[in-house]
Amino acid sequence: MQNQKKTGLRILVVLLVVALSVGGAFAKGKGKLTRIEGTVKSIGKDSVTVETDAKQTVNVKITSATKFLKDKKASTFSTMKTGDHVVFMATPSSDSSAKAANTQKDSLSLGLSFTATEASY
């Protein structure tokens, strides 16, 4: 009986390690979220240009997966206006992710573009 419990526990531990390893492999490809906060300077068909408080200009790509919140309520891209204060949670765009640095400051200073996952304004 004691051996069965130990064997069962070992199998459970092995399965847990495998599950975490596979999950970690998928997470690495997603990139780190970066907080981009500032004022909307221009709005394009599928992008927003933001000027941060540090006077850096950042281009944020908008996709169908981007979630919008206005005053903490669900909203849409079409309600965003030039001059709005906005906070984006975004990942470096795939075309620039290989160059992206590991910190928000470094990523923003390189002038990289980002893909938004969420926007609050």
Tell me what pLDDT residue 115 has.
87
Tell me what pLDDT residue 98 has.
36
Tell me what pLDDT residue 85 has.
96
d(CA 112, CA 93) in angstroms, rounded, equals 8
Tell me what pLDDT residue 62 has.
95
Q: Could you list the pLDDT tens digit for every one of the 121 residues in the chain?
A: 566 666 555 554 444 444 444 443 334 445 689 999 999 999 999 999 999 989 999 999 999 999 999 999 999 999 999 999 999 999 987 654 333 333 344 444 445 678 888 888 8
Residues in the chain: 121
